[in-house]
Structure 1
Amino acid sequence: MRRLSAALLCGLSALPSAAPAQEAVPDTIVTGTRVPTPQERVPASITVLTRREIEERGYQTLTEALTAVPGLRVAQLGGPGQQASTFLRGTNSRHVLVLLDGVPLTDPSEPNAAFNFGNELLFDVERIEVLRGPASALYGSAALGGVVNLVTRRAPPGRAFAPYGELAGGTQRTLRAGAGATGTVGAFDYLLSAQSFSTRGFNAIAQRLPDTGERDGFRGVFTTARLGWTPAEGTRIEGLLRWRQNNLGLDDVPRDDPNYSGEDRRWYGQVRGETRLFGGAWTTGLRLAATEDRRRYVNLPDSLSASTADDLYRGTRTTLDWGNTVRLPAVGVLTDGALGFGVTHAFEEARSASGSPFFRTTVDATQRTTAGYATLQYRLGERLDLTAGLRHDATTGFTDETTWRLGAALALPELRSRLRASGGTGFAAPSLFQRFGIIGDFFRGNPDLRPERSIGWEAGVETDLPAFGRPAFATTSATYFRSRIRDLINFNAGFDTLENVDRARIQGVELGLTLRPAAWFEATTAWTVTGAFDAETGRRLPRRPEHVVSVTARVRPASKVVIAPTVLFTGRSPEGAFASYNDQGVPFPYQRSNPPGTVVNLTATWQAFDQAALFLEARNLGNSRFEPANGFATPGRSVLVGTRFAL
């Protein structure tokens, strides 16, 4: 119920370690163009988090891993498992598409079609790729603000059995354990991975509110299995199955309820085949993927309330995708040409029932989407990379959508610089709830809603600065971005349906500085300045702070020791939720803005043995009570110690 209320009320708001880790294609990016391309030649803003970085910085959830990404602001309502939203370059949380190995993960039964970033653990993830800017020409709906692609671990060649694992425990009765193995045996390769994570947690309700909160614990279990077969060079068939279940206590405001709990399950599977034709010039592949989400939230009667809630959400998605990459011959000064094209078909279904008898909310609906896309890229004069993309999506019941994207990346080795510019359009289709949802006898969804649409562009430069005998003593970067969004979905004046009524304008700059004064020290500062406004009223959009700064460092004082501190500063932001909330006649202590806050984390790793390491992960060292969202404070100070191995 709380999640549905937040979705309704928010409106507009609403990818060598201590122990060796396997690296999957570390020098190329697929997310940015759908064609494997070196990162420096991708004409888009991309951040890549490798397995080494995930471990050295102690990231255990996807939310943690994204906090230091430029242009991205995370707002989580508590600890692991709690609702976590991301605002990428000022766009709504539902405007960020999340993929697992290229397959969408969003739950179709989520009322606002927004992904909950607080649910994902990272033990089976090899890398995280974050693409910023409109990418619907590549991935369709929801990629209006950008894409987050989780790439699972891969088997190393030439090793029949490569086990890995970790065990850690700490404050708040936290226990984290994981074990896995990968290997290649002849023409076959495999991955087996399992992780469990439990914690007593914190009371995330802000101290300024009535003290009725309690600790909200979390228990999560993840398992992943992959089997691949390579019968001949260039031909591969693989199947992947992933399951997770999270059980958690839920915080609520302004009065927390100790009996409010949730269970969140997901099955994910895919079968994929790929082969090369015509001497490797043409790669074609077919993939069938399916996800099934089941979420249940229960609130039993207690001294605070006699009411009972039993909310159930079920969402399924089946995707069939045919993708191709054709390497093109040189044409004059144009080289390294590639044409990508394909067709994808998705079937989505949502079944949900939640809320009280008066405020009963139900959805029972399906929809199908068929899309065709094409991308083209060439290199001019060995230094200018040009890309173009076009996609057409047709969804049952509303207007088709055609999106495009253009980009260029220019290498200037004489100046040790790289220039980048891109622009395109994006869209986010209305959710099944927005089209077909029912609330009591006073609200009906609008099946005639149009997709939310955007147009945006960016331009940036990155420069390496030599000093003190080091060719890249420092790297500076600056990217300006601008976008306009129209047809945003919100309630009509009578609150009895939804309409395309809102518009937004967004601009900002992402500034970066990386210093490498010595081989044992590297520090990166990312400063994002964002102006996100309602185009009608001129007011700032909720939960989009003007300033977000992150400082990450990798310090190696000894050959076997790595220290990774992180400082995260979030500036003041307007708050849009709970403005008119009342509880038993007592007005909610509503803040019109969320004050700024700073959180300091630290991870230290000691490579005690060649194949095993000890680590310490300390979170929120200053015990900050910063509220990323109105009424919900950052979880308090915690420490976790453990060991990690890879044989």
Structure 2
Amino acid sequence: MRPELYRGAATAALLLTAGAAAAQTTSPTTDDSTLLSDVIVTANRSAQAADRVGQSVTVLTTQQIEASQTVEVVDLLVRTPGVSLSRNGGIGTTTALRIRGAEADQTVYVIDGVKLNDPSSTGSGYNPGNLLTGDIARIEILRGAQSTLWGSQAIGGVVNLITAEPTRPFQAALDAEVGSRGTSYLRGGLAGVGERINWRLAASHYQTDGFSTFARGTEKDGYENTGLSGRVNIKLTEDVSIDLRSVWSSGRTDIDGFPAPTYSFGDTREYGTTKDLVAYAGLNFDLFEDRLKNRVAYAYTQTDRQNFNPAQAVTNLTFDARGENRRFEYQGVFDIVQGWVATFGAEHEDSEFRTASPSEFTPSPTPTANSVGLDGYYLQVQGEVVDGLTLTGGVRRDEHDTFGGKTLGQAAVAWSLNDGGTVLRASFGQGFKAPSLYQLYSEYGNTTLQPEEADGWDAGVEQHFLDKKLMVSATYFSRDTTNQIDYVSCSSTVTQAAAPLCFVNNVRRFGYYSNTAKTQANGVELAAAAWVGPVEVQANYTFTDATNETAGANLGKHLARRPEETANLSATYVWPFRLTTTVAVQYAGESFNNASNSVRLEPYTLVDLRASYPINDTVEIYGRVENVGDEQYQTTTDYGSAGRGTFVGVRARF
């Protein structure tokens, strides 16, 4: 066995042994997300008890998010089973998060019920690099192909982000943090619950001097982000209410590029800006003595991205893009009889994009722009056929302006035995991803593209011991993806007869997009959690074999930037004088930076130390040391990563 694989296997064994061995004498906290009494929203688009959900879901609660002291959402997600990431530098840079080895743009992100994607990006995926924890109170990570309820892009899974809701007539929150690399983070919120109106407003500002995006560079590349969010619920009658929600953020990221005269990757003064707007307006009304819950909503997202290069004389602007989505939705949830629920709905989405790449030779190019519409209809029925055995089945039909129609199905089973001590789960789901506007209509576009398609299934067991003081789980998953869209280059000698798509109006182009790729992913997710008096231990290990199944030179090669092995361990101890200390370990095995597997990315292990102390019921101080060992590693070749950093902060809840 190669040394790095041996180290990965040893790490996995250590994590799972630690999770099991520490579990002899504890009790879980009352709001811990592993308890079967928790509710899960994402899997069925309506609240369901966890032991009735057949899909694989991980829930991160407010308590867990705050205890992690994590600033960036992706740093939370990568510590959960089945999730890996790569990014081009530090916080705020282009970030690719992959669930179970799927492509980065095959994950759906949802914030407060609104799907996030950027129609102006190459694959219309959402870049989560600008997502800060801020006012987020709960995160659900749904793994596997989930397009039946969530539509296009949900091949890898769904990440559902929920901002905080008010719980008292008036409440306030304030967090402040400073630390290494000139970092500061300030966030606060006000909220209230009234007889008819519930409301919340929150704001945050983060900035850091950062480190060089170029791994061997010396110039620091900083980041700054300002965010605002708000929500209000107006109760018109006992059965009718209005929801208004919005989230806005503006980020500026220093980046490195390819300076003259060598035009090789290195330090530059380039930077990029990203502005995201999410808006939602919904009408909720119940009928038939609350048996039928209805929601009619309008959602809008807008992403503006610009890149600048101060070294250019004619124009500093080098890239300008805007992507917009407008969604109209109806969803109904009907209690058929006791234990049986039907979820159904209809959606219409209009997407638009505009991109331009100014240069010193063409300072004002004509932008590429287009739009597309998508209609979707879905139905899912869930029922408890016998005590503890819940079956779920669903179907979806989508109609796309360009490629036409697509029908999908999904099925799941959850069987809760021994009063919830054992839960067996299995699910089968189909996923699809519509071609992006860029893939259809850009200079490399192909309007004959078909959607990417996936069939995936998983099966697992969750077992509780010692009055739920110890939990262990194991899940096997498999997914086949076909019609995956890939870029095809056109050589300078190709003829129109041999490759007609290389020519537009008899003019050769550099390349085009085509449904040429096929991939496969199989793996195992293991997890353990234990509560031993003042000790809490959480551990997980994932093995993912994600390979290219496309005929050609790369057949059987590992997909780029997807480590086969990942593992996480956290151990928390609450001291008698109320000090809480945590050690957290994150491991990622070797991966490859390119499709041919000729460029290797080394495995790495990161260790963090965290501590917090409640001064009273209102104020808590905390601190952490990230990457204690100052590990030097790369998730993308030639891009830097953060070294050791120390941070301290205070949070107050009024």
**TM-score per shorter chain, which class?**
0.7 to 0.9
1:551 aligns to 2:573 (yes or no): no
Residues 1:606 and 1:527: Cα distance change in structure 2 (over 3 Å): same
The 3-state SS of whatever aligns with 1:138 is helix
Structure 1 residues 181-212: Cα deviation after superposition (integer angstroms, max 9, x where no partner): 111122111101000001101113224xxx4x
CA distance in 2, matches of 1:147, 1:228: 25
Q: 1:344 aligns with which of 338, 343, 347?
A: 347
Q: 1:320 aligns with which of 317, 323, 328?
A: 328
- What is the letter of the counterpart of residue 365 of structure 1? N
Report the counterpart of residue 487 of structure 1 in structure 2: 483
Residues 1:556 and 1:309: Cα distance change in structure 2 (over 3 Å): same
The 3-state SS of whatever aligns with 1:633 is coil
CA distance in 2, matches of 1:231, 1:565: 49
CA distance in 2, matches of 1:183, 1:372: 36
Report the counterpart of residue 526 of structure 2 in structure 1: 511
User: 1:53-202 counterparts in 2 under 5 A?
Assistant: 53-156=64-167, 159-202=168-211
1:276 aligns to 2:286 (yes or no): yes
Q: 1:532 aligns with which of 526, 538, 546?
A: 546
Q: 2:517 aligns with which of 494, 502, 508?
A: 502
Note the C-alpha offset of 1:422: 0.2
Q: Verify the 8 A CA contact 1:475 1:513 in the aligned structure 2.
A: yes
Q: Verify the 8 A CA contact 2:243 2:283 in the aligned structure 1.
A: yes
Q: Verify the 8 A CA contact 2:211 2:640 in the aligned structure 1.
A: no
Report the counterpart of residue 232 of structure 1 in structure 2: 237
Runs of 4+ with deviation above 3 angstroms: 251-254, 305-309, 355-362
Note the C-alpha offset of 1:252: 4.0
Note the C-alpha offset of 1:227: 1.7
Structure 1 residues 513-544: Cα deviation after superposition (integer angstroms, max 9, x where no partner): 2232x221111111100111111311111111
Q: Verify the 8 A CA contact 2:114 2:278 in the aligned structure 1.
A: no
Q: Verify the 8 A CA contact 2:257 2:268 in the aligned structure 1.
A: no
Report the counterpart of residue 613 of structure 1 in structure 2: 620
CA distance in 1, matches of 2:315, 2:190: 47
Report the counterpart of residue 274 of structure 2 in structure 1: 264
Report the counterpart of residue 298 of structure 1 in structure 2: 308
Note the C-alpha offset of 1:415: 8.9
Report the counterpart of residue 7 of structure 1 in structure 2: none
Structure 1 residues 277-329: Cα deviation after superposition (integer angstroms, max 9, x where no partner): 11110001111111111111001227xx9995521110111111000000011
- What is the letter of the counterpart of residue 244 of structure 2? G
Note the C-alpha offset of 1:383: 0.7
Q: Verify the 8 A CA contact 2:180 2:647 in the aligned structure 1.
A: yes
Work out the number of aligned pairs and report it: 592
Note the C-alpha offset of 1:628: 1.0
1:398 aligns to 2:403 (yes or no): yes
The 3-state SS of whatever aligns with 1:388 is strand
The 3-state SS of whatever aligns with 1:55 is helix
- What is the letter of the counterpart of residue 81 of structure 1? G
Q: Verify the 8 A CA contact 1:454 1:483 in the aligned structure 2.
A: yes
Report the counterpart of residue 425 of structure 1 in structure 2: 430
Q: Verify the 8 A CA contact 1:316 1:349 in the aligned structure 2.
A: yes
Report the counterpart of residue 242 of structure 1 in structure 2: 247
Note the C-alpha offset of 1:74: 1.3
Q: 1:571 aligns with which of 578, 586, 589?
A: 589
- What is the letter of the counterpart of residue 379 of structure 1? E
CA distance in 2, matches of 1:271, 1:122: 23
Q: 2:609 aligns with which of 599, 602, 605?
A: 602
Q: Verify the 8 A CA contact 2:347 2:376 in the aligned structure 1.
A: yes
- What is the letter of the counterpart of residue 562 of structure 1? T
Report the counterpart of residue 9 of structure 2 in structure 1: none
- List runs of 5+ in structure 2 lacking aligned partners: 1-28, 259-263, 491-509
Structure 1 residues 155-200: Cα deviation after superposition (integer angstroms, max 9, x where no partner): 11xx321011111111111111011111112211110100000110
Q: Verify the 8 A CA contact 1:85 1:115 in the aligned structure 2.
A: no
Q: Verify the 8 A CA contact 1:363 1:432 in the aligned structure 2.
A: no
Q: 1:520 aligns with which of 534, 542, 555?
A: 534
The 3-state SS of whatever aligns with 1:636 is coil
Note the C-alpha offset of 1:493: 4.5
Report the counterpart of residue 3 of structure 1 in structure 2: none
The 3-state SS of whatever aligns with 1:435 is helix
CA distance in 2, matches of 1:415, 1:32: 19
1:255 aligns to 2:265 (yes or no): yes
Structure 1 residues 24-60: Cα deviation after superposition (integer angstroms, max 9, x where no partner): x992111001121011221011011111111111111
- What is the letter of the counterpart of residue 471 of structure 2? T
Note the C-alpha offset of 1:618: 2.1
CA distance in 2, matches of 1:431, 1:374: 25
Residues 1:496 and 1:255: Cα distance change in structure 2 (over 3 Å): closer
User: 1:378-389 counterparts in 2 under 5 A?
Assistant: 378-389=383-394
CA distance in 1, matches of 2:454, 2:199: 41
Q: Report the identity percentage.
A: 28
CA distance in 2, matches of 1:26, 1:194: 32
Report the counterpart of residue 27 of structure 1 in structure 2: 38
- What is the letter of the counterpart of residue 528 of structure 1? T
CA distance in 1, matches of 2:582, 2:314: 48
- What is the letter of the counterpart of residue 343 of structure 1? A
Note the C-alpha offset of 1:550: 0.8
Q: Verify the 8 A CA contact 1:78 1:251 in the aligned structure 2.
A: no
Q: Verify the 8 A CA contact 2:234 2:243 in the aligned structure 1.
A: yes
Residues 1:415 and 1:59: Cα distance change in structure 2 (over 3 Å): closer
Residues 1:576 and 1:307: Cα distance change in structure 2 (over 3 Å): farther
- List runs of 5+ in structure 1 lacking aligned partners: 1-17, 331-335, 439-443, 580-589
